[in-house]
Amino acid sequence: MTPPVEKVSQSALDGSRTRVVLLLEVEDGAEQRLLEAYDQMCNRVAAVPGHISDQLCQSIENPSQWLITSEWESALTFLAWVDSPAHLEMVEPLHGCVRDTRSLRFGVLRETRVRGGARTGDLQSAPRIGDGVVRHAITFTVKPGSEAKVAEILAGYTSPQARVDDTTSLRRTSLFMHGNRVVRAVEVRGELVKALRHVAVQPEVRAVEEAINPYLEVDRDLSDPHSAREFFARAALPAVHHVAARRESVEPLRRHALFYPAKDGCGQALARLLARQDESASDDPASPVAGSTVFLREDLVVRLVDLRVPLEEAPLAAVAAAGPHKAGTLGRLLDETVNLADEQGIKRFLADHDMRMVTDRRAPEDEAAGHRQPGPPH
């Protein structure tokens, strides 16, 4: 009997109830203003679909330390709100009161039942095995006709220092383009926000961001805190599912990003289908898929996949359409006519939606660990 494959897995797609903890470091003397801002905000948050409850707490040891805890029916209901313009406008008054914030998101595994108290939403069924890495992406569009120039700028920068501190480092950055859409996926060991803030102030990164500003479809000013928050809220492309088998690869892994044009309102269903396919692949020792990450924002779906073989040798697995009826189901969720059950249809889909890799950079220690994929020079 073949032993089960050990794997790393994380997901926001299982429908389990979600607890969000926002840690706040409040400006001296701003405590009352923060309380007033929260009072104005809480009734509006209570009306958000999927919201269950929230609490505002103040440290009994340090009055400058506060936290807001909120409970949601699922991670997806929270992500749909936190990535919306309404959220950005709703929480703006808080920013004038705080020096620093940190957001943590958790699936609820166990709880002590309150006698007679009804609960909403399911619990996470089992613990998942992690690898200490946080995955996230941002996406934005550039002016049509500027794609080649933008790709040249984005490919030519000097990598910033990967190490942030003893607990946080930037592990990998993979950047892709599909038409005029840019997707930058990052892997961080430690705290995501700390790593992103570190990278944002590095001179080489600031120079690149300034260089591409004239080509963006939507203007931004990263030197202005409000404009920067708007940009990163608008550009956020959360990782909603990741799975990777824990086994050695003799051959270097080949990284691809696939863009899936979902039908209106079908983004979540499409992401769930891709996640189920990749979970099944991770259980198969013979699968060409070593790991994948699904990113989702409304109906924008991108799947980052690491393959053990060239893409053309495993097109169905690359697309996540392997298995009976899977190609047909996937095709029905796409906003275009494509026959994924047909070999030519698969090839056409890959030709149209395998995103162009602009750069793929890894921290030196990860390069030394081996399995560097073919791609642009680092």
Question: Average pLDDT, stretch 301-316?
Answer: 95
Determine the residue type at 11. S
Residues linked to residue 57 through DSSP beta bridges, in sequence order: 67
Residue carrying structure tokens 């260089």: 211
**126: phi then psi, degrees, rounded to nearest 5:** -155, 155
The residue among 339, 220, 322, 328 whose CA lies nearest residue 277 is 322
The yes-or-no verdict on residue 114 having pLDDT over 90 is no
Bridge partner residues of 18 (DSSP)? 72, 107
Question: 84 near 230, Cβ under 8 Å?
Answer: no
Say yes or no to pLDDT of 179 above 80: yes
pTM of the model: 0.90
Q: Domains in the chain, start-ordered, CATH in brackets? A: 17-107 (3.30.70.100), 133-365 (3.30.70.100)
Residues pairing with 7 in the sheet: 245
Q: Per-residue pLDDT for 261 more than 60?
A: yes
Task: Identify the burial level of 61 via C-beta atoms within 10 angstroms of its C-beta, where 0-12 means exposed, 13-18 middle and 19 or more buried.
Answer: exposed
pLDDT digits (tens, 9 = 90+) for 73-92: 999 999 999 888 888 888 88
Distance, CA of 261 to chain centre: 17
Own/partner long-range contacts of 40-48 (Cβ < 8 Å, ≥24 apart):
40/93, 41/90, 41/91, 41/93, 41/94, 44/90, 45/70, 45/90, 48/77, 48/81
Look at residue 93 and tell me whether its pLDDT is greater than 90: no
- Report pLDDT for 126: 86
Tell me the average pLDDT across 197-221: 90
Instruction: Indicate if the pLDDT at residue 373 is higher than 90.
Output: no
Q: If you write DSSP's letter for every residue of 226-281 in order, what string do you get?
A: HHHHHHHHHHEEEEEEEEEE----SSPPEEEEEEEEBPTT-HHHHHHHHHHHHHHH
The phi and psi torsions of 207 (rounded to 5 degrees) equal: -65, -40
| Bridge partner list, 362 | 172
